Amino acid sequence: MVHQHSHDHAIRDDRWLGLAIAINILLTLAQVAGGLLSGSLSLIADALHNFSDAGALLIAWVARRIGRRPPDTHQTFGYRRAEIIAALINLVTLVLVGLYLLAEAGQRIFEPQVIEGWTVVLVAAVALVIDVLTALLTWKMSADSINIRAAFLHNVSDALASAGVILAGTLILLFRWYWTDTLLTLLISAYVLYQAASLLPQTIRILMQSTPDGIAVPEVVAAMEEVEGVVGVHHVHIWQLDEQNNALEAHVAIADLCRSEEIKAALKERLASRFKIAHSTLEIETAPCDSREHDSHP
């Protein structure tokens, strides 16, 4: 029953993602048309950001479906890292978009263009509504997936950017301050680059099999050696299988091989409860004689 409930929940989330993808694509088309008609670079910039959001959501949707495949002989740990790979693709694309917008804004500083303020305001107002709706659709899923969390942050920043575009359009209408459009483009690109920079390190650490944040190898070794019967721990490797699951492999020297299963169970329980390491591979070996004598006679 629990598995069926989880499966139904995942299908429902996929449908919400599909809806978010569809409305972002429609919004992108509307913003591009509005930007070309009005000459607004910030509106086209926001359209590119929304398009990247739609692409990110699509990649995340595909990765979620791949990630639910069970382990097999080719992927013995399963396919959950598909979402991490998708996150890397999305974030690198986001960096490229941000750099492109910076270059375009710099060029616009030296070649200013006339912008139709009403078109900017009306299209950005529609974008603001859709950005808020998309953010609401992805909010509940953002806690469990770096892909969805990135998409959620993108939509929040898009909503802020759309609000800024409305402000720039209003200032253009009232005061003919065309420079505000270029300023907004710079701010949007800054948001894009900041978001990518905030999530890229975590994504790369997982793919590089780095030790998870908050876990120190010496502390793990010390905790394992506190278990009764353990003489020493070495060849320790700790990494993240995916965003939610940590793994460890280590060699454990014990004094009495007859107690190996008992000690192994105690070690696994300690690793899971204290360090949230649910998957551990422990190679039990006999401690050298001098170590056993030292352990028996402190």
pLDDT in tens, 63-116: 888 888 888 888 887 888 888 888 888 788 878 877 877 887 777 666 655 555
Superfamily of domain 2-207: Cation efflux protein transmembrane domain (1.20.1510.10)
How far is Cα 234 from Cα 216, in angstroms, rounded to an integer?
14
pLDDT in tens, 218-269: 999 999 999 999 999 999 999 998 888 899 999 999 988 889 999 999 999 9
Q: Where are the alpha helices (DSSP H) in the chain?
A: 2-38, 41-67, 82-110, 117-139, 146-175, 179-207, 217-225, 260-275, 289-296
Give the start-to-end residue ranges of the domains of the chain. Answer: 2-207, 217-296
Identify the CATH number of the domain defined by range 217-296. Answer: 3.30.70.1350
